[in-house]
Amino acid sequence: MPVAQHRIAETVAAELRARILAGADGYRLPTQDQLVKEFGVSHPSVREALRILETEGLVTVRRGSVGGAEVHRPDGSTAAYHLGLALQGGRVTLGDLAAGLRALEPMCAAQCAARADRNETVVPALGANVEESAGLVGDGVAFTRVAREFHDMLVGFAPNATVRYVVSSLVALWSVQEEAWAEALTRQGEYPTRAKAESAVRTHRRIVEEIAAGRADEAERVARAHLAATQSLLLDRFDDGVVNVSSAASRQAIRSGRHLRG
């Protein structure tokens, strides 16, 4: 491609990128013909601009006579997936991911305990999750999914948006690894005991109680100890394993946003 055309495409892509990021949900790009007319550029330059945005995950270009560009505003699942690719490409181990999560997730428990509205917003939602998980003790895969959602929600209620995006990405990546682990061990009949699942439920209740009482330091301490204990179940087997988001199941789980509520 000639250099001039590439620079034109970059300029058009930069303008469209800014519109997508600033636009409201449901924002639609003009058609390619409209973009050609608006920017006064060639069709190849517009197509290249859209390809740039497509590689960034901001649009999906539909080919053919009825083609167009479907806009995808980036969200937490986008951040988690691309972070996961970076970690996998860097051959970052599950042990390293776990240590990062232990350093950051418990701070979210403390932030939840410091919220003035915690007993109207945080506590009811976390409490409902605890009761749901208590009813699933004995069903390894289902219990793991709901119990992991407790951690997702804990981070999702952190009042600082930057903290939510960063830590939610780590939680999503860990949750995908843990659910795959739970499914594998369940198939092998080796899932951890009912007693360990019941212990996790009790600890989740304790964290909710500390948040409800506004005891931020204690909520953080209990959350950190609990996280270390639950992580050890996976790390005892797969500590040196590399973070993996490249499988179809992992991509689907992350991109669905299932682990990024809040």
Residue 262 belongs to a domain: no
Q: Are both 67 and 80 inside the same structural domain?
A: no
Q: Are both 239 and 181 inside the same structural domain?
A: yes
For residue 93, which phi and psi values (nearest 5 degrees)?
-85, 160
DSSP notation for 133-169: HHTTTT-HHHHHHHHHHHHHHHHHT-S-HHHHHHHHH
Residue percentage of the chain with pLDDT more than 70: 85
Last residue of a domain, one of 53, 71, 89: 71
pLDDT of the residue at 24: 75
In this predicted structure, which of 174-178, 187-191, 194-198 has the lowest mean pLDDT?
A: 187-191
Element holding 69 (H helix, E strand)? strand 68-71
For residue 97, the SS3 value is helix
Q: Are both 119 and 64 inside the same structural domain?
A: no
Return the top range by mean pLDDT from 138-152, 170-184, 196-210: 196-210
Residue 223: CATH number of its domain: 1.20.120.530
Write out the residue range of the structural domain in which residue 226 sits.
76-255
